[in-house]
Amino acid sequence: MKRLAGRAADEIMETVRFIGGVVAVWLGLVTFGFAAFHIPSESMQPSLEVGDRVLVSKWAYGYSVHSLPLGLGYVLPDSWDGRIAWSQPRRGDVVVFRDENQTPPRNLIKRVTGVAGDVIEVRAGRLYINGEVAPRMFEDIRTYREDRSGQPVTVSHYTEILPGDRDHPIYERIDDYPLDDFGPVTVRPGTVFVMGDNRDASSDSRASGGPGFVPLENVVGRAETVLFTLERCRREQGLHCPTGRVWGGL
């Protein structure tokens, strides 16, 4: 009996050690490597939908004041420039950043369309970077039910191509919405210019009261993929119902 009891105790301890190791690895990953963010709005449609859980790499550009593990960024001296081992985000990257223009500050997710030195302009809904229009290819017309109002919204779905041949989908309702004419502005050093993929439903660097030029030290990390989503749209005749976003590139 004692031998059996000892064996059972050993098996229990092995199980505890295994679970403890799994928890330690998980805590290490979520503390130092990655974070998951919930998408609360439609500003990044069609790449991201309301309810998506997005995996964000906290170390993609190095660590910033808002991505250092264990909240260390908030206790370091003010003389620190807010970045460790930093590399520049690229046009086309989807980034999570801290918008300190909001009260209280909150995390937002947008796509980088301009980096330091770029001249950004929007004319009649078309994005211009350094005087050159970003090509866009028409894909189709979609109607979806807006999350907050529940009303149907019809948009044109395009594929937009940024310098470096990085393409991504965008939505445009029409090409004369309030933010469809903007600039030109030159992106300041140490910042990036961001826009939502759902161009007429995004408060971004174009908007008065939006985040403006996003300081690099406010960038939390780069969004890599959709982990999963807990929400499902209701399939209705004539309305677009997105599927297949899990583990898709952004």
Instruction: Provide the 3-class DSSP secondary structure of residue 4.
Output: helix
Tokens linked to 107? 């995390």
State phi, psi for 112 to the nearest 5 degrees: -75, 120
* Helix residue ranges per DSSP H, the chain: 2-28
Which candidate in 47, 58, 67, 110 is catalytic?
A: 110
Instruction: Provide the 3-class DSSP secondary structure of residue 226.
Output: strand
CB 84 within 8 A of CB 19: no
CB 217 within 8 A of CB 64: yes
Which candidate in 41, 43, 202, 205 is catalytic?
A: 43
Give yes or no: 202 in active site: no
Structure-token match 């209280």, residue found: 104
∠ CA 104-108-110 to the nearest 5 degrees?
A: 155
Name the region of 128 (left: φ>0; alpha: ψ -120 to 50; beta: rest). beta
Tokens linked to 79? 């003389």
Tokens linked to 163? 């310098």
Give yes or no: 110 in active site: yes
CA dist 3 → 6, 10, 16, 35 (Å): 5, 11, 20, 45
Residues labelled as active-site residues: 43, 110
